[in-house]
A = this chain, B = another copy of it.
Amino acid sequence: MNIGTASEKSGLPPKTIRYYEDIGLMKAGRAGNGYRDYSTEDVHRLRFLQRSRGLGFSVEECRQLLSLYDDKQRESAEVKAIAEAKLKEIDRKLAELVGLRDTLRHLVRHCHGDERPECPIMDGLAGEQATG
């Protein structure tokens, strides 16, 4: 399939897909006419990249995540270590996202824009501690 179709199916712009190829993150095959050719599996990977990039993982981290699929021959221990580190990171991100949602929900419910001098949220905002 051509890059346009892969773009639609993955949610990544063609420009970005080409860029990922440039930096060696995601290489596609080529058809006889020189066009890039994407398989269903390629689209899965692009989707995966689209997701993880959108969730704040760097390109290097995404490279590691992708390597979990691509380097099946590698040491089981190494692959598992990377995967488990990433799982921890994801759990941390999940907790942060839940915290952000709670903050915002609280805001919507209690600070309804009726010109109070101070919003009760400001005090407890993100007060979970930073360096902990």
Contact = CB atoms under 8 A, between A and B. Distances in A.
Interface of A: 8-11, 41, 43-45, 47-48, 50-56, 65, 68-69, 72-80, 83-84, 86-87, 90-91, 93-94, 96-101, 103-105, 107-108, 111-116, 119, 121-122, 125-127, 130-131
A80 B44 contact: no
Given A55-B100, A97-B55, A107 B44 contact: no
Contacts of A126: 44, 47-48, 51
A46 B29 CA distance: 45
Contacts of A75: 113
B125 A44 contact: yes
A48 to B, nearest CB: 5
